[in-house]
Homo-oligomer: A and B are copies of this chain.
Amino acid sequence: MKILITGGAGFLGQRLARELLVRGEVKGVDGQPQTITELVLLDVVPASGFTDKRVRVETGDIAERSVLERLIDSETSVIFHLAAIVSGQAEADFDLGMRINLDASRVLLEACRARGHRPRVVFTSSVAVYGGDMPEVVQNDTALNPQSSYGTQKAIAELLLNDYTRRGFVDGRIMRLPTISVRPGKPNAAASSFASGIIREPLNGETSVCPVAGSTRVWLLSPRRAIASLIAGLELDAALFGMQRALNLPGISVSVDEMVDALREVAGDEVAKRVEWKMDPRIDKLVTSWPGAWDTTRAERLGLVGERSFADVIRSYIEDEHIQVR
């Protein structure tokens, strides 16, 4: 089995690749395990640090038709489509967001359609597809009303994936990810970047500025569970999705104050005190337009589980990233 990961040099892409290499196989559409023979990691910059012979590192612009046409062949039976321009950047550069989050998704679906082999396509969507007037807990049948260009582009790609699936061009699985926390590394241009930064930087002995109010509720998932959910989504029996390929993944609903409390619980008061508060209206506007929680009955019925507490999330970050708390 040949697998393609777009955004393969990104944090989730690399982590997903490592997990797939460790597993060595995933379920086929018949539910039987199939050996992974090739793992293509596509991104604008080369994915680094892979020495495994099954890995093929490719670089290219995914909105360029020729790139995906070259990389998707009739052996490419699984595609994880993670490549995206993040929320803050898509808001700042409208055309770039449209090009990567919308046009490239369509190019990818068209490349699959042209091959005619109906690959499974796992697409990462987002909390940002919701917005406007929402119930306190978003339901599976709550209307998408994105209040950001990023959320709009993700919602459009969802609609395309559903229709391409209904028509038999692909076998799509849309995983609506909560905000991923704790991400390792540097802050990025996502409006949600702080949701990792206010944990990661203090643990690293640095201060971190929180740009939203402490009462703001966020809906979080750890990288570990996110990766497990993407693979579980791939392996789900297509028939279980019914008439809607999008799944709201389980997460934890916490206020930012509660996140800092959990940091204090795990790492002590000295660490928690490194969070500073300075409202950024541009970020606050995006983040508070997203739901703070959604109903996860459907995902849980399909066997997808989230974390139990945010303190556990911090502990798994410390463990996974071999953090020495300072």
Contacts and interface: CB of A to CB of B under 8 A. Distances in A.
B146 A155 contact: no
Contacts of A135: 141
Given A142-B141, A143-B143, A244-B132, A160 B167 contact: no
B94 A131 contact: no
A299 to B, nearest CB: 16
A145 interface: yes
A56 B253 CA distance: 57
Interface SS of chain A: helix, strand, loop or mixed?
A: loop
Nearest to A97: B163
Nearest to A245: B145
Nearest to A289: B243
A214 B104 CA distance: 44
Contacts of A94: 167
Interface residues of A, number: 26
Given A143-B144, A144-B143, A144-B144, A133 B242 contact: yes
A140 B134 CA distance: 11
A24 B144 CA distance: 38
A282 interface: no
B132 A242 contact: yes
A166 B151 CA distance: 12
Contact of A163 (B141, B146, B166, B167): B146
A149 interface: yes
Interface string A158-170: 0110110011000
19 contacts: A131-B243, A132-B242, A132-B243, A132-B244, A133-B242, A140-B143, A141-B142, A141-B143, A143-B244, A144-B159, A145-B162, A145-B243, A146-B162, A146-B163, A147-B166, A152-B159, A155-B159, A156-B156, A156-B159
